[in-house]
Every structure is written in C-alpha cells, then in structure tokens.
Amino acid sequence: MKRFYWIFLYLLTAINLSAQDFEHDRIEFSLLTCSPSTEIYALYGHTAIRYRNETTGDDWAFNYGLFDFGAPNFVWRFTKGECDYELGIIPYDAMEYEYRSRGSAIYAQVLNLTSQEKEKLFRLLMINYQPANRKYRYNFLYDNCTTRARDRIEEAIDGTVVYPENKERTLSYRQIIHQYTADAPWAEVGNDLCLGVDADKPITMRQEMFAPFYMKDYAAHAVIRTPDGNERPLVLREDTLVPLPAQKQAATGVSLLFSKYLTPGVVGGLLCTLVLLLGVLQYRQHKIYWGVDLFFQLLVGLMGCVVTLLFFFSEHPTVGSNWQILLLNPLPFFFLPRIVWCCVHRKKTVIHAVYTVWLVFFMIFSVFTRQDFCAPVVSLACILLIRSVGYLLYYKKQIK
C-alpha cells in the first residue's frame, strides 16, 4: 500500500510541476537552510531548494538529503563510503512541520533569478528527479545536500556566481565540524577518531560551503555576474520561515551528564589518574592487575578495527590519512594473549619494552604531525604507557 502511495505522489508531483508558466506565473526559488538539532544526523543542519508558485499554489521542497536506512547492508555501505542519497520532492508544509517539531529554524534566501534561469533550474531539478538520476553517491565533505543545491543553482544561472572572499580566515574541515559538534563532545570524538590529517589542511572558500550555514552566509553576499559584465545580488531577500524556539530545549539526565560533566577530556583525565594510582598500588603490593590491561587493550583493538577498516577500505574523504592508526589498530589481538599469559605466570616479556618505545614514539609523533589528535586518544596512549612502564618497574623490582 505504501508503494502505491509513493507512486501516486510521484505522478501527482510530476503532473503538477510540469505545467508551469515561468513567464506569467509568480514563481520563486529559495535556498532553504535548516538549523541543527540534537540528532546525530542533524548536528550540521540541512539545505534544500524551495519552489513556490503563488499563481497555482504549488509549494515544494527539493531535498537532496533523503536516504533509506533500511536498505540492505546500509551500515556496512555507509562505513565504506558507498552510501547513496537521493533527491526527493516533498510538500514544503511537510518539511516545515518536521523541522518545527524538532526545534529547528528554517531560513529562506529568495534567489534573484530571471524567468529563463528559473525555468532552467526547474528543468535541471526535474532531470535530477528522474528515477535513473535520482540517486547519487553521498560524500559528507565533497558532495552532499548543500553542495548539490549550490551546484544546480549555479548551473542554471546565465553567468557566474561570485562569492566574497575572506582572505583573513583560514579554516580546515575539522575546525568547521567542531563548530557544529561543540555541544555534542562525544559525537565530536567519533568524528575525530575517523578523520585523518587531510581534515586539518586549510580549505578553500568553496570547500567551506559543504556546511549549510557557511553556504547561507556566502550566498547572502554573492553576486551574479552576467556575460555582459553587469552584476546583481544572488539573493533577492531573506526570510525566517520558522524561527528558533524562544527557549532552547535543555539537555537532561544522561544527555546532560555526558555533554556537560563527563566530557571526553574529563573521562580521559579520570581514567589516567585511576590507572596511575593502580600502577603505584601494583608496584607497592607486588601484584599484577592484568584485568586492567585486558580491558584497555581490547578497547584499543576494537577501535583499531574500525580505524583500520576506514583507513584501507573506505571511500570517505580524509580517513585514509589517519595517523591515529599507529595506536589504534588490531595488533593487540595478536600480542594480548601472550601478555595475559605472562602476567598470570609472573613471566617477563619483551613486549612491554617494545610497546613502551612505540608509545613514546607515537606521543612524540602526535606533537609534530599536523593532525589534530582527539583528547581520548592522547589519554589512551598515556594509560597504555603508564601500564607498560609499570610492568618494567615491576619486573625490575622482582629481579632485585
């Protein structure tokens, strides 16, 4: 039944949108920018194109951000960077209801287009909406709902869009991402664990437009330069269609605990202190708490599986230059059984000395590399180093 509903909606949309008179109807296109919300997938906001015909009453949103979470192997394909998004056409009222209900604002920038440019933009969008063209290989940084909307608008314009340059500002992908994840520190850690050194390189003005609100700001000051040399503003006017709620919904319970108090830096510092105290206790009592090593090495190994998979097999941008793989990799699964066996039988192993040297190298390397390592990774390296040095001191004391 649901399939027939969508087929009916598609036919209704195609019929309604095909009979437009761009010369005489009161038609306008707007670049819609939606503010972020608390959901992980909505932390960065959203961009769409609104088509509004005051003559016929048609009011639609062209949305390049649709995806099917129930598609076969969705998580695996998303991890590999092979996730397909698609263009959808939905009633604007339905889109407004969705974003209003989640507490997001919607801002509209009415585009200053000629009737010929409006007709061309409409045609380009409808070509994109054809079943054979509707899906595209989504790329969070390079090809997403915002860049797709920008590219279609630019393609429809007779001339070029000139954006203002800010030569005093130099940003990276990671810096922009951090602006959006400032209130979601654990989501920020998830991003930082995956992104490599390429995310810390300076990016161009055009690359900054992968983020919806950067696109909005650039569009607000952009001009259209026509072939005859004349210029006109890209944006005719700006409207706030859905304002931000007067009072932002405050985090509560577990969400408040992990977003404000148990942040990654705090948790990392507490764990480092706890492991250091356990190391002192282990040395004084002449005992080995090998369960601590088992926990942290398994954690490193599991995190390392994800980082290694992304590093070697994913098509996601920048993940193939992630130097955190020097610490986060599956190697603990190979030497962990030997470490545990030696701990249980009080046998010395050279693994601790080698691992200590490697951890010292990693920490020195992390200082000089251009990659911004996240705080939990640094904390984890410190914890492992404390444990390795603790074993060396333990066996030195045992020999005496």
DSSP 40-97: GGGTT-EEEEEEEETTT--EEEEEEEE--TTSTTHHHHHHTT-PEEEEEEEEHHHHHH
Lowest mean per-residue pLDDT among 148-152, 168-172, 214-218, 299-303: 168-172
349-354, Cβ contacts within 8 angstroms, sequence gap of 24 or more: 352/388, 352/391, 352/392, 352/395, 353/388, 353/392
Instruction: Characterize the bridge pairing of strands 231-233 and 223-225.
Output: antiparallel
Q: Which domain holds residue 200?
A: 2-242
Q: Is residue 44's pLDDT more than 60?
A: yes
Distance CA 158, CA 66 (A): 29
Q: Is residue 78's pLDDT more than 70?
A: no
Q: Is the pTM of this model over 0.85?
A: yes
| 47 closest CA partner among 132, 145, 163 | 145
Together in a domain, 73 and 16: yes
Together in a domain, 153 and 37: yes
**158 within some domain:** yes
**257 within some domain:** no
Q: Is residue 283's pLDDT more than 80?
A: yes
Q: Is residue 19's pLDDT more than 60?
A: no
Together in a domain, 172 and 94: yes
Average pLDDT over residues 256-271: 83
Lowest mean per-residue pLDDT among 39-43, 108-112, 176-180: 39-43
Average pLDDT over residues 132-137: 91
Together in a domain, 56 and 19: yes
Binning the chain into helix, strand and coil, the percentages to the nearest 5 are 55, 15, 30
**253 within some domain:** no
Together in a domain, 97 and 232: yes
Domain boundary among 242, 277, 307: 242
Together in a domain, 66 and 213: yes
**340 within some domain:** yes
Together in a domain, 377 and 304: yes
Residue 267 CA to its chain's centroid (Å): 23
Together in a domain, 137 and 207: yes
Give me the numbers of helices (H) and strands (E) for the chain, helices first please.
15, 10
Together in a domain, 235 and 322: no
Q: Which residue has the tokens 């490697």?
A: 358
Lowest mean per-residue pLDDT among 72-81, 87-96, 342-351: 72-81
Distance CA 192, CA 371 (A): 10
pLDDT, position 10: 52
**367 within some domain:** yes
pLDDT, position 75: 61
pLDDT, position 79: 66
- The per-residue pLDDT of the chain, averaged, comes to 87
Q: What count of Cα atoms within 13 Å lies in the side-chain half-sphere of residue 31?
A: 28
**247 within some domain:** no
**250 within some domain:** no
Average pLDDT over residues 86-90: 93
Query: What's the order of all strands across the beta sheet hosting 223-225?
Result: 160-162, 223-225, 231-233
The separation between the first and the last C-alpha atoms of the chain, rounded to the nearest angstrom, is 79
Number of domains forming the structure of the chain:
2
**256 within some domain:** no
Do residues 99 and 34 touch, judged by C-beta distance below 8 A?
A: yes
Q: Is residue 351's pLDDT more than 60?
A: yes
Q: What percent of the chain has a predicted confidence (pLDDT) above 90?
A: 61
Together in a domain, 324 and 201: no
pLDDT, position 219: 97
Residue 389 CA to its chain's centroid (Å): 37
pLDDT digits (tens, 9 = 90+) for 243-253: 988 766 655 55
pLDDT, position 5: 42
Together in a domain, 134 and 193: yes
Together in a domain, 209 and 65: yes
Average pLDDT over residues 4-31: 62
Cα radius of gyration (the chain): 27
